[in-house]
Amino acid sequence: MKNQKGFASIILVVVIVVIAGAVGYFAFVRKSEPIAGQIPTPTPTQTKTTTPTPKDETANWKTYRISGYNGYEFKYPQNDAVITGSELENNILNASGYWSARGGVTEAAVIDSKSTFSVGRHGYIANLADCKKITWPNGSTEELLIKKIINGITYYYGMYTGAAAGTSTRVDVYHAFGGSGGDGCFELVISTSPSLVNRVSNVADQILSTFKFTK
């Protein structure tokens, strides 16, 4: 009789455990089921967004390079040409006689249908303070105070709108002192029509963005 009571107790415990497990299972299933009329909330999933890489429009351009002391280089469109030497006087809008008359020498230029980009240097200028000065076509002299960093080069910037060499034009001037050799003042000039004063970009601006000093 004692063994039978013990066996009955074990059976009772097993039955209680099974019943408790069944109740817990059905309670869990019921809790997981959506309520009638309620739209289940979808599980959020992470979406990977990628930022498109800007297209380099100058990638296939040609490169003009001046090697040696205080050398430099820049890119220009395949269909354009770099003008140097005596050709500058007959082709460039205003830089050839205009800048050289004030002590500098225009060395190269690229003429596009809407703009002109030119590079000159003032080798006699030996300090930054003088490099920041400029004399405009109307004879006024000022100090370039606006600083711009383009392609790692620090420029001092100024803009003039008016008639230069008989042509109505806007002139954007960028002065950079030193170069790779640490001597002289470089003058990069962008000439455009005044109608492009509010331009977003043009070929000459793109050429400027590729300009850098070589060693």
Q: What is the pLDDT of residues 77-135, one digit of tens each?
A: 999 989 887 777 666 544 434 444 456 778 899 987 778 899 988 877 888 998 898 88
* Centroid of chain to Cα 178: 23
Backbone angles phi, psi at 26, to 5 degrees: -65, -30
What local confidence, expressed as pLDDT, does residue 41 receive? Answer: 64
pTM for the whole structure: 0.69
CB 74 within 8 A of CB 63: yes
- Looking at the chain, the whole-number percentage of residues with pLDDT higher than 90 is 22
Give the confidence band of 175 by pLDDT, cuts at 50, 70, 90.
very high
pLDDT digits (tens, 9 = 90+) for 47-77: 666 766 667 778 899 999 998 878 899 999 9
Burial class (CB in 10 A: 0-12, 13-18, 19+), 208: buried
Q: How many CB atoms lie within 10 A of CB 97?
A: 14
What local confidence, expressed as pLDDT, does residue 96 receive? Answer: 38
Looking at domain 62-214, which of 1.10.260.40, 3.40.50.11060, 3.40.50.970, 3.40.1000.10 is its CATH number?
A: 3.40.1000.10
Q: How many CB atoms lie within 10 A of CB 137?
A: 15
Distance (Å, rounded) from C-alpha 163 to C-alpha 168?
4
Domains of the chain, by residue range, sit at: 62-214
Instruction: State the average pLDDT for the chain.
Output: 75
pLDDT digits (tens, 9 = 90+) for 178-193: 887 777 889 998 888 7
Work out the average pLDDT over 38-53: 66
Strand ranges (DSSP E) for 165-211? 167-177, 185-192
